[in-house]
């Protein structure tokens, strides 16, 4: 497409800004990730003496790292509007977030909108595609205890066994509270056609804005983490009694991400900031675990129903620009999620100062040895 004389200065500024942002991201990653790894190494004696305190400190640093990623989008004007129930009310309980998946920017969006939910980010475990293990953030996720799942039918059974073992070894020993799961098993654009063919074959609803979820990972998580009462039924809370002290997984948080005009943000846009400021909309619904069937057929139907409802939510959003009001209400209420500029400045400053400190320490030991 030809560039007019009037557009040239604007495009030039976009290019310069993208290059400056990219240079900052590279520097930010170098100092922040190196500092995180160095702190974790130095704190290994504490891990042996007081494991709970070690993972608490590690979780705080992990939260700061995700806050830095969130700030990249924040300063580019990529903000979040939140709808539905207040998930901060269950931030101290164990919960699973079931999220629809459209693009790599979904992860960044969650990193942003969960920053103001107490220690949720610090105590969170992500289930993500194994390819992310090989990104710059992979080492951090490995240390933190996130799980990388390999997609594909040939790997499915083995991956579910590995997930079960991973949860048993890492979830409660590291004081994790929330798990983020994308049950569709891939991006919407990649899975939609296959999902629609499966729906037609099995007489299931035809979905356009989401795909039918896969059951395996959700089933493993629930079977591993839901506490059982003496009668065998799941222990869990009531949405009217958020103070529940029941042990084990207590809530399912059905999370629906919507982008204006159904145009998702990818990680490249998040980093380079070449897209105009955009408001991403996130809708939450909270379900007590006692209302979720744990047997395979019942859980499958329950999950399918949640994604059918997501389809309806997104259809309404794309038609009206807003999510529908909850039952019994005349209008839906939303609130803008905000990040503190001062907090962002402090964590970024800490990252660069830490990077400078570790550089000097490593340089000192290098000269002593050589």
Residues 272-327 pLDDT 10s: 988 989 999 999 999 999 999 999 899 999 999 999 999 999 999 999 999 998 88
Is there a contact between 315 and 209 (Cβ–Cβ < 8 Å)?
A: yes
Is pLDDT of 232 > 60? no
228 confidence band (pLDDT: 50, 70, 90): low
Q: CB burial class (10 A; 0-12, 13-18, 19+) of residue 144?
A: buried
Answer whether residue 8 shows pLDDT above 80.
no
What digits encode the pLDDT tens for the residues 94-115?
A: 999 999 999 989 999 999 999 9
- How many Å apart are CA 69 and CA 65, to the nearest integer? 7
How far is Cα 316 from Cα 318, in angstroms, rounded to an integer? Answer: 6
At 326 the pLDDT is: 82
Residue 151: the pLDDT is 77
Distance of CA 177 to the CA centre of its chain: 13
Distance CA 301, CA 322 (A): 27
Please report the pLDDT score of residue 156 as a whole number.
80
């Amino acid at each position: 497409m030809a560039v007019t004389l009037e557009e040239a200065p604007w495009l030039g500024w976009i290019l310069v800004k993208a290059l400056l942002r990219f240079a900052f991201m590279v520097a930010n990653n170098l100092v922040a990730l190196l500092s995180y790894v160095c702190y974790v190494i130095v704190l290994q004696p504490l891990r042996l003496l007081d494991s709970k305190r070690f993972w608490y400190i590690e979780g705080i640093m992990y939260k700061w790292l995700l806050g830095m990623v969130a700030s990249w989008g924040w300063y580019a004007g990529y903000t979040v509007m939140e709808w539905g129930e207040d998930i901060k009310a269950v931030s101290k309980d164990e919960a699973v977030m079931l999220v629809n998946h459209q693009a790599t920017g979904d992860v960044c969006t969650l990193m942003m909108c969960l920053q103001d939910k107490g220690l949720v980010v610090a105590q969170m475990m992500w289930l993500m595609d194994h390819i992310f293990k090989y990104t710059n953030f992979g080492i951090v996720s490995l240390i933190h205890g996130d799980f990388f799942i390999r997609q594909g039918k040939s790997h499915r059974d083995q991956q579910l066994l590995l997930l079960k073992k991973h949860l048993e070894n890492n979830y409660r020993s590291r004081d994790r509270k929330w798990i983020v799961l994308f049950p569709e098993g891939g991006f919407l654009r990649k899975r939609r056609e296959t999902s629609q063919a499966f729906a037609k074959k099995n007489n299931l609803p035809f979905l356009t804005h989401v795909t039918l979820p896969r059951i395996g990972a959700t089933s493993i998580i629930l079977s591993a983490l839901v506490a059982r009462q003496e009668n065998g039924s799941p222990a869990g809370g009531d949405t009217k009694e958020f103070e529940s002290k029941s042990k084990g997984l207590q809530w399912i948080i059905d999370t629906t991400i919507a982008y204006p005009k159904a145009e998702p943000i990818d990680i490249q846009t998040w980093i380079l900031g070449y897209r105009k400021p955009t408001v991403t909309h996130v809708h939450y619904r909270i379900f007590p675990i006692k209302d979720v069937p744990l047997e395979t057929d019942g859980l499958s139907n329950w999950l399918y129903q949640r994604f059918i409802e997501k389809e309806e939510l997104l259809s309404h959003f794309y038609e009206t620009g807003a999510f529908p009001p909850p039952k019994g209400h005349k209008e839906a209420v939303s609130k803008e999620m905000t990040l503190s500029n001062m907090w962002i400045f402090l964590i970024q400053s800490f990252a660069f100062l830490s990077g400078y400190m570790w550089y000097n320490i490593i340089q000192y030991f290098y000269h002593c040895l050589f």
